[in-house]
């Protein structure tokens, strides 16, 4: 119990560390605010895809003035902003105002987005069931923003206290035909339902979704990507050889349990996120996530269900446990890279941070592995020389005995976390610390402290 509450305390610490991510202010950038100020527009918020949206609404005249801007990096690109009179904010059914930037000119027109557009049919200008005045598309005077400016008069078809807004940024166009936007997660996030009168967002806010995705990433990178491998390193190198750390089992189980807990929280969040953005499922990431969760759960059950050391198939069980563990690390890192590629477009911070983490873990394991082998050969030779010495000098063993003592193997009961949980297995784990062929390429078992 004590161990469990310690775990939750740790999880709590980590989560409270993450809470600042939940802060909720997204005012527009300085330069975009200058543009809105010129037009007397007061409401302004940052949106996904680097877009910013300013609006002014009068619920008496039902006039909605909008200024929608985003940067277009390439020679060619387009911006779209529209309203959907349907039940939910989505691409199909949107009445869109689209501004297209071509090499030497800009175009702007109205487009009716249908399900054929989604299927890949050409999108051509058409009439839309929306009263639009003073529609223009141009680059701001003092900014890099390209901006759609228009005044709409909302018919009764549009509910001003729950208005479905959809926007998009694309990077290719053929004359007045915008070409399909990139299929990045942010391009699927670009829609929301807002209350024009109070300026509140009624749908799940895309910023919130984005934050939740980051939290999902952090939880899974920490849990599955860091703590689980760390626990495996502890089990492999600190059990008895090359280092004999008395509390290794406690540490191993702590790492795995905390890692599993964080990873599972992240996984649940991930599944929820997958369902929340139903237009953008990422099947590979999702499937790998489910596989990882299933098999890490199996590995965790292994703590309780593993066969006794005396059982014949214990050696096969060990092989299975280790093989599954190493395969899982491979799948986990692939899936983390996949997740990072979904999450971020231009910013490579996450990718490099995770590569750094992988290198750190890999380097640690590699150094410990090299050290294991050096120590192994050293002990082999020491045994040989010691036997020689024993023949000559019967006194020499005293000095050796003080540095390495196999008699002082501590009892696992000294680990508080195990006292109440899995005594029989822990005991058996301790008996099993003699290095087997599975770790080192020798048939014989090594007795550390052979001279004492
Ligand atoms: C406009 O909104 C205000 C609240 O902001 C409300 O008091 C008023 O009745 C609304 N007018 C109409 C015509 O809906
Ligand atoms: C753009 O303008 C330049 C010179 O003004 C011209 O050489 C070029 O062909 C134009 N490009 C297009 C696509 O019209
Ligand atoms: C626009 O498309 C919708 C179907 O998505 C259709 O019902 C509507 O009549 C179209 N509007 C015009 C003006 O063509
Ligand atoms: C369109 O612009 C003109 C001139 O700037 C202005 O007089 C007119 O009121 C605007 N129309 C609407 C619907 O805002
Ligand atoms: C407009 O939306 C609000 C909030 O969803 C709802 O309470 C109201 O009944 C809707 N009005 C109409 C005319 O549909």
Report all structural domains of the chain as residue ranges with CATH numbers, in order of start: 30-203 (2.60.40.1210), 208-431 (1.20.120.1770)
Distance 134 CA to ligand 4 centre (A): 6
pLDDT of residue 66: 94
Distance 152 CA to ligand 4 centre (A): 11
Q: Are 32 and 145 in contact (CB under 8 A)?
A: yes
| Strand 177-178 to 106-112 pairing | unpaired
Neighbours of 140 (CB within 10 A): 16
Tell me, using a 6 A CB cutoff, whether residue 395 lines ligand 2. no
H/E element, 269: helix 248-276
Substitution site in 58, 151, 153, 154 for ligand 4 pocket (most atoms within 8 Å of beta carbon): 151
Tell me, using a 6 A CB cutoff, whether residue 103 lines ligand 2. yes
Tell me, using a 6 A CB cutoff, whether residue 104 lines ligand 2. yes
pLDDT of residue 423: 38
- For 330, counting Cβ atoms within 10 Å of its Cβ (0-12 exposed, 13-18 middle, 19+ buried), the class is exposed
Tokens representing residue 383 in the block? 């045994």
CA distance 119 to 103: 27
R_g of the chain, CA atoms, integer Å: 31
Q: Taken in order 22, 192, 266, 329, is the CA torsion positive or negative? A: negative
Q: pLDDT tens for residues 285-306?
A: 999 999 999 999 988 887 777 7
Residues tagged in the binding site annotation: 216, 252, 285, 321
Residues at CB less than 6 angstroms from ligand 4: 133-134, 151
Nearest CA, atom 2, ligand 4: 134
Nearest CA, atom 10, ligand 1: 59
pLDDT of residue 84: 93
For each of the chain's 452 residues, which pLDDT tens digit applies?
A: 444 555 555 555 555 545 444 444 578 888 888 888 888 888 888 888 889 999 999 989 999 999 999 998 888 999 999 999 988 888 889 999 999 999 889 999 999 999 888 888 888 999 998 999 999 999 987 778 999 999 999 999 999 899 999 999 999 999 888 988 877 777 888 888 999 888 888 877 677 788 888 899 999 999 999 999 999 898 888 887 777 778 888 888 899 999 999 999 999 999 988 887 765 568 889 999 999 999 999 888 877 777 777 777 778 888 888 899 999 999 999 999 998 888 766 678 888 999 999 999 999 999 998 988 888 888 888 777 777 777 777 654 454 444 444 444 444 434 444 443 333 344 344 333 333 333 333 333 333 333 32
pLDDT of residue 11: 54
CA distance 173 to 130: 24
Residues tagged in the binding site annotation for heme b: 216, 252, 285, 321
């Amino acid at each position: 119990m004590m161990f469990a509450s310690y775990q939750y305390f740790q999880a709590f610490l980590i989560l409270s560390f993450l809470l600042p991510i939940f802060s909720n202010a997204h005012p527009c950038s300085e330069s975009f605010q200058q543009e809105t100020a010129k037009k007397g527009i007061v409401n302004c918020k940052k949106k996904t895809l680097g877009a910013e949206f300013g609006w002014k609404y009068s619920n008496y005249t039902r006039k909605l003035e909008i200024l929608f801007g985003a940067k277009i990096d390439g020679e060619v690109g387009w911006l779209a902003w529209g309203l959907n009179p349907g039940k939910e904010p989505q691409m199909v059914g949107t009445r869109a105002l689209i501004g297209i930037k071509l090499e030497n000119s800009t175009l702007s027109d109205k487009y009716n987005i249908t399900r054929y557009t989604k299927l890949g049919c050409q999108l051509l200008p058409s009439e839309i069931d929306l009263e639009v005045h003073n529609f223009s598309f141009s680059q701001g005077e003092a900014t890099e923003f390209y901006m759609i400016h228009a005044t709409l008069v909302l018919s009764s078809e549009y509910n001003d206290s729950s208005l479905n807004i959809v926007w998009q940024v694309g990077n290719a166009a053929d004359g007045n035909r915008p070409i399909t936007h990139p299929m990045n997660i942010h391009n699927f996030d670009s829609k929301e339902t807002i209350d024009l009168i109070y300026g509140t967002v009624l749908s799940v806010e895309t910023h919130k979704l984005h934050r939740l995705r980051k939290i999902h990433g952090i939880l899974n990178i920490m849990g599955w990507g860091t703590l689980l491998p760390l626990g495996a390193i502890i089990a492999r190198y600190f059990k008895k050889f090359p280092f004999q750390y008395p509390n290794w089992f406690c540490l191993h189980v702590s790492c795995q349990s905390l890692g599993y807990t964080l990873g599972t929280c992240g996984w649940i969040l991930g599944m929820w996120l997958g369902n929340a953005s139903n237009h953008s499922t990422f099947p590979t990431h999702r499937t790998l996530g489910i596989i990882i969760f299933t098999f890490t759960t199996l590995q965790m059950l292994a703590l309780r269900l593993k066969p006794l050391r005396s059982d014949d198939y214990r050696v096969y069980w060990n092989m299975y446990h280790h093989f599954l563990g190493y395969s899982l690390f491979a799948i986990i890192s692939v899936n983390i890279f996949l997740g990072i590629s979904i999450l971020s477009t231009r910013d490579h911070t996450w990718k490099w941070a995770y590569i750094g983490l992988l290198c750190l873990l890999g380097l640690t394991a590699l150094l410990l592995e090299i050290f294991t082998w050096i120590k192994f050969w050293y002990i082999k030779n020491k045994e040989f020389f010691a036997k020689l010495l024993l023949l000559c000098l019967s006194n020499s063993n005293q000095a050796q005995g003080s540095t390495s003592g196999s008699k002082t193997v501590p009892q696992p009961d000294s680990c508080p976390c195990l006292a109440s949980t899995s005594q029989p297995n822990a005991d058996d784990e301790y008996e099993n610390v003699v290095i087997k062929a599975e770790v080192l390429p020798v048939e014989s078992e090594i007795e550390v402290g052979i001279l004492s």
